[in-house]
Copies of this chain bind each other. A is one copy, B any other.
Amino acid sequence: MSRSKRRPTLTDSVQAASIAHRFYLRGESKLDIAEAFGISRFKVARILDAALEQGLVRVEFDLPAPVDVGLCEELRSAYGLRRALVLERAPGKQTRPEMRRRIGALAAELLTEIVTKDDVIGLAWARSVNVMTEAIRSLPPCPIVQLCGVQAGMDMYDRSVETVSRLAAVSGGDAYPIFGPLVLPDRRTTETLRKQPGIAETFGQFRNLTKAVVSIGAWQPGESTVYDALGPAEREAIGKRGAKAEVSARLFDADGNALSTGLSHHVLAISAEELRQVPEVIALGYSTPKAEAIDAVLRSGMVSTLITDADTAQLTLELAAKRPPRPRRAASA
C-alpha cells in the first residue's frame, strides 16, 4: 500500500479517474478507452494500476454486516476454510462483553441464514455461543443438540444452562440438552452420567449433526472454561503435553493434532472424532490471547467457518505466515 510517488497533477488525476470510471463503472474495455483518449492500451492499464496503487481509485465494500473483507479472505485462504467472518475493528477499546456480543450477533446472523429445516444443530456450551443464541430471532424447526455439559462460572447467567431449550423454542424443533457438568471428578461418574436416559439420547444425536457451533479456548487462565475448571496439577500436565487449544473439552496441540489425555475420560462432551464428522463446524474465538489456539484448531481441519475479531485475525494470520499450514480445501496463495 505504498503511496510513494504521488500523482501531483490535477490533469493526470482527472484523466486517471475518468479512465477508471469508464473501466470499472461503465465496464468499457481498455482498448476502447485507449482509443477514446488517444493513448495505447498499455498506458491505460498502467494508469489504472497506478491509480489503484496510489489510492486515487478506491474499491470499497458495503457489507450488510461490519466485516473486514480483506482479513476474512486472508484467513479463509490461509487455512483453507469454507469461510471466515472477521469483525471490523471498532473505534475505541472494546470490552470483552461488548466484543462477545458483536461476535455473537455475527454468528447469529450467519446461523439464521445457513440453517435449513433438515439440519441438526449442535451447540457447545460457551459464553459466546450463549450470546449468539440470544441474538437468534428465528430458525427453521430443526433439532438443537447440546454438545457438552455445563460449566457454571461465577459470571454466567442462570438461564445459560437452558440455551439449547431456548433456541429449540425459537426454532420449534426438538431440544437435546445435557443437564450435567462439563467436567466431572472421575471416570466412573462420567460413565454413569453418560448412560442416563436424557444424556444418552443427546449423545446419540451426535452422529446426526449437520452443523455445530463451538468456541475456541486457549490453554491458559481465563481463556478456557475447561482450563479454569481443572485443578493445578491436571492443568499443568495437559499443558506439558503441548495442549494449546480446547474446543468443547477436546484438546489440540500447536499443529492441530487432537491430543488424547486423561481429560477425555472425565468430561461430558462430544468426541473429537464425532465433531470432525460434522459437515459444518462454526468456531467462535474472539480475543487476542486466543490467536495461538485459533491457529492450532484451524490447522486441525475440523473447522469450516471461523468467526473472530480483527485484532485476533491479524495475529492468527501472522502465525499462519510464520508456519504455513498445509492447504485443506481448494486454497491458494
Which A residues have a C-beta under 8 Å from some C-beta of B?
Answer: 9-11, 13-15, 17-18, 20-22, 24-25, 28, 32, 35-38, 52, 55-65, 67, 69-70, 72-73, 76-77, 83, 85, 109-110, 113-114, 329-332
- A67→B56 CA distance, assembly (Å): 13
- Cα A282 to Cα B10 with chains together (Å): 15
Chain A's interface: helix, strand, loop or mixed, by majority? helix
Q: A36-B77, A72-B14 are in contact. Are A55 and B62 (CB under 8 A)?
A: yes
Q: How far is the CB of A194 from chain B (nearest CB, A)?
A: 36
Q: List 19 A-B contacts (CB under 8 A).
A: A10-B85, A11-B83, A11-B113, A14-B63, A14-B65, A14-B72, A17-B61, A18-B69, A18-B72, A20-B61, A21-B59, A21-B70, A24-B52, A38-B329, A56-B63, A57-B59, A58-B59, A59-B59, A60-B60
Given A21-B70, A69-B17: A36 and B113 interface contact (C-beta under 8 Å): no
Interface hub of A35, A69, A85 (most chain B Cβ within 10 A):
A69
- Closest 8 interchain pairs by CB? A18-B73, A17-B69, A36-B332, A24-B59, A17-B61, A58-B60, A21-B69, A38-B330
B59–A110 touching, CB < 8 Å: no
Instruction: Knowing A59-B25, A59-B58, A73-B18 are in contact, say whether A332-B35 is a contact too (CB < 8 A).
Output: yes
Residues of B within 8 A of A60 (CB): 57-60
Contact status of A35 and B110, CB under 8 A, knowing A14-B83, A57-B59, A72-B18:
no
Min distance, Cβ A68 to any Cβ of chain B, angstroms: 10
Closest to A59 in B: B24
* Known contacts A11-B110, A22-B73; A56 and B61 CB within 8 A of each other: yes
